Amino acid sequence: MAIVFGSLMLSAGINGFLVPHHLLDGGMIGLALIVHYYFGIQAGLAMILLSLPLFIYSWFKNRAYFFNSLHGLFVSSLLIDWLSPLRTFFQISILPSVLAGGLLIGFGIGLMLRFETSTGGTDLLAHIISRAVSINAGVVIFIVDGIVILLGYQVLGLHTFLYSCGVITIVGAVTAIIVHRKPDR
């Protein structure tokens, strides 16, 4: 359930609020969006292709992470491409899109990480790093996201770059809150 609900939230945030304004998230999602904006390749497909090296690494180093993230990668990638019609559904300005997109994506990623799964990619990397060095996965994601946003600066321009920094701040904060909160059992 965490994979499906988290992927739905993530996909709605990307398609409904980020893509209409050419905003970026960080990590593999951000890299996939750069590929989408620059080359027109579907973002979900690009996410799968870009995540392959981390999945190969995970296969050899920690198969539990591999299997826990494999489902998340395929479900979220499928839903990102399947929910692409949401790109024209919401007609709101850029600041509310930053807020809504950041909240939805952060909640979706945080929910999956909280239940020991992810969308793969840098979520998988953050989960591995956070376990190894006892740093909150949301903080690791925030750092990686910042690096991706810097890489996307050429594609975005200053205006969109600054708003994308707002997106990753919100995503990182919401992810950290959701991951840190103990699940009810």
Measure the CA–CA gap between 147 and 5, rounded to whole angstroms: 27
Classify residue 168: in a domain, yes or no: yes
Total domain count for the chain? 1
Name the nearest CA neighbour of 58 among 143, 135, 139, 119: 119
Per-residue pLDDT, 53:
86
Considering the entire predicted model, what is its pTM? Answer: 0.85
Answer for the pair 101, 17: CB distance below 8 angstroms, yes or no: yes
Classify residue 71: in a domain, yes or no: yes
Classify residue 133: in a domain, yes or no: yes
Tell me the CA distances in angstroms from 3 to 6, 114, 120, 121, one per residue in order. 5, 11, 11, 15
Q: Tens of pLDDT along the chain (185 residues)?
A: 889 999 999 999 999 999 999 999 888 899 999 999 999 999 999 999 998 888 888 788 778 777 877 888 899 999 999 999 998 888 899 999 999 999 999 999 889 888 877 777 776 777 677 778 888 776 787 777 778 888 888 778 898 899 999 998 898 899 889 987 655 55
Answer for the pair 102, 166: CB distance below 8 angstroms, yes or no: yes
Structure tokens at 103: 């909240």
φ and ψ at 62, to 5 degrees? -160, 95
Per-residue pLDDT, 162:
92
Helix axes 137-151, 94-114, angle to 10 degrees: 140
Classify residue 116: in a domain, yes or no: yes
Name the nearest CA neighbour of 151 among 65, 51, 69, 31: 31
Answer for the pair 27, 123: CB distance below 8 angstroms, yes or no: yes
Structure tokens at 171: 């995503």
Helices (H), the chain: 2-13, 27-39, 43-61, 63-82, 94-114, 121-133, 137-151, 153-156, 158-180
Classify residue 158: in a domain, yes or no: yes
SS3 at position 116? coil
Classify residue 103: in a domain, yes or no: yes
Classify residue 147: in a domain, yes or no: yes
Per-residue pLDDT, 181:
64
Q: Which domain holds residue 156?
A: 2-84+92-180
Classify residue 185: in a domain, yes or no: no
Measure the CA–CA gap between 119 and 112, rounded to whole angstroms: 8
